[in-house]
Structure 1
Amino acid sequence: MFSNKQVTLIVTGSIAVYKSLTLVRELIKNNNRVRVVMTTAATKFVTPLAFQTLSKQRVIVDEFQDYDVDKVLHIDIADSTDLTIVAPASANIIGKLANGIGDDAASTVLLANHAPLFVVPTMNTNMLENPANARNLRTLAADGIHVMDSATGFLAEGYSGKGRMPEPTEILQWVSNTIDQSQVLKGRKIIVTAGGTREPIDPVRYITNHSSGKMGFAIAKAAADAGAEVTLIAANTSLPHFDGVSVISVVTAREMAAEVTKRFAEADGLIMSAAIADFRPETVADHKIKKVADEDKMTLTMVKNPDIVKSIGKVKRADQFVVGFAAETNDLMANANKKITSKNLDLIVANDVGNKKIGFNSDQNQVTLIWPNGETKKTSVETKSKVAEELIKIIAEFK
């Protein structure tokens, strides 16, 4: 079974809620961390305290309960989870999810969710087979949500039928099998770069850019979730690290070049999303440069930094891939097309960093993917995590 995952378990109103306690225990026994979100109806069957005792985390019931003041509850939970399970899933929560309704903590977490989502329908046979509920379940499947078949057996109403919640071990085996099937990069070693390099002028000053590293970190996580062995080479970021990714910290472009070059021969591919300084000061002062009273200008002589992705493009083997990024403020497509040819790239990701809504430091992005044959694909404006997942699906089809 899977382990070392941050799991959100959403529990809704059903007599089968007691099985979810075992589900939490089994998840934790396999070294997962579990955050439980309950609907008000679910608390009528089992208290939040029972789940809190097992999970060792505060159970979320009310969207407006006390939470970190600098975070939005449902967004923070959704952003921090690796996978979400709804078990038992009532007809009510299924209807809300299928129709985009968010009116409590559980449904708003589901609306914000962008992790793999697993739903376990649990209800009386008549409700399960109701045309509206059946239609909602088809909608979930069409939206890419994983829906488990309900079990058949003795129901709370006193007769046998389909609609029982499967046993916790069966649910976890189903989730684990589904995750294994989504491991499209399993066995592949991938290098991802992130952040913006800094080029020192003197011991206290440097030249840099506005890159936060969010896009690169999202790509690294998406690749790891897809089964890849990921090395993330990060320049000057303050983002939290996550399980399953080896992180190497660097400062300058030359340090980044050295780390990438050292590791690329053993990798299956490189995703170069870091913002690398094109130039650096020719000399770095030993001491802080002082102002000169009668001089209004200071001249810095700049020299070119290594073009990392171009150098790697020259030496990559037929069984390796290189994906570059073109962060531009004007002539986006023209500049990106020049780079994909001159740097021997398998794909380039072009994004308009002049647009503050999708540029550096933003949580959202919109990119245009460009292939060497001229084919292009433009994403919607969406979270950087979602863009990363789309990119990884495309990379999985390489070679």
Structure 2
Amino acid sequence: MLDVKKIQKDFAILQQLVNDEPLVYLDNAATTQKPQAVLDVLMDYYHTDNANVHRGVHTLAERATKNYEISREKLCQFLNARSTKEILFTRGTTTGLNWVAQFAREILKPGDQVLVSIMEHHSNLIPWQEVCRTTGAELVYAYLKDGQLDMDDFKSKLTAKTKFVSLAQISNVLGCINPIKEIARLSHQVGAYLVVDGAQSAPHMKVDVQDLDCDFFTLSGHKMLSPTGIGVLYGKEEILNRISPIEFGGEMIDFVYEQEASWKELPWKFEAGTPNIAGSIALGAAVDYLNNLGLENIHAHEQDLVAYVLPKLQAIEGLTIYGPQDPVQRAGVIAFNLEGLHPHDVATALDYEGVAVRAGHHCAQPLINHLGIHSAVRASFYIYNSKEDCDKLVDAILKAKEFFNGTF
């Protein structure tokens, strides 16, 4: 198990008071805090190695390039990809999903279908809406049963017309964990590509892309202890070799002539321009930090927290929890509403107690509409959260009820 008190000491931002209360940070599904070890690596690059990569032959450039590519190797091992050629640095999950959608634009035609679920983040919906709009393909939705993906509905909508299946491994609202390995098997049976939004899974559980057999997998660094503006798109090498570059310019070229150009080999043909070098190196440091803790330990810790706090939340009269009601079936994300209170009022009341949560539609408006609500409060847990944090959340909710005279 994790030594939470020791971990908390690595995060200076957590050692503060908010509204004269110790900060309890429960907005980890939006972004995580950064440990000192990652911040040190980030600043060390700027202090000692600040240079562009893959271009210069001077010492700083060679050190920067070496560390940049070492980080790629770390991400390759982190996801258990076959080769570093399958690891593309991006700005984040949104960029990765848009790149895959651009590839889909080259393939899809009228009559084809793209299958998603109603629980998807906007980043995994809008690119597909746009691709289907421009190609004449149809966007098809699988719906829910008991707060999670209805696999019978999914199977009924997966047909020979399905060319792409794109799903989150973990819902950022429902907290449910989708059976990606089974979905990959079913998708490949009909000849469809499987795209996995791993923004909420990669930081919290062991991901093995070879075992999952997904064709693409995306993640965001800022949700796994590293800076914003950096992420990874994994793609199977044989597929990436068939995809045209998405952006053009410096760094991704091999030779340029007056009327045409040729591209570098994987993975660099997709990384046009000066990349987020510092962010990439810091992401590698974040991977080191997570590996030292152990992804299995992280997942077990979060499940332990959910098993502890979920019954306490379920016992609050007038509180509705969205997603699976069994702690075993969900990750460390809990979205809820208090009857008669606006989620923003609840979040503000919790903030008065030093508890940071998110309120809104969580970039999942189709799901929110499907649930018959306008917005929700969301508490999301990570490595530095404790059972004491869970108790503070529950106490703050009860105080909010009392403050607003919420007797339900």
Q: TM-score, normalised by structure 1?
A: 0.26
Higher relative CO (CA 8 A, sep ≥ 6), structure 1 or 2?
2
Structure that is richer in helix per residue: 2
Q: TM-score, normalised by structure 2?
A: 0.26
Structure that is richer in strand per residue: 1
For the pair shown, which has the larger CA radius of gyration, 1 or 2?
Answer: 1
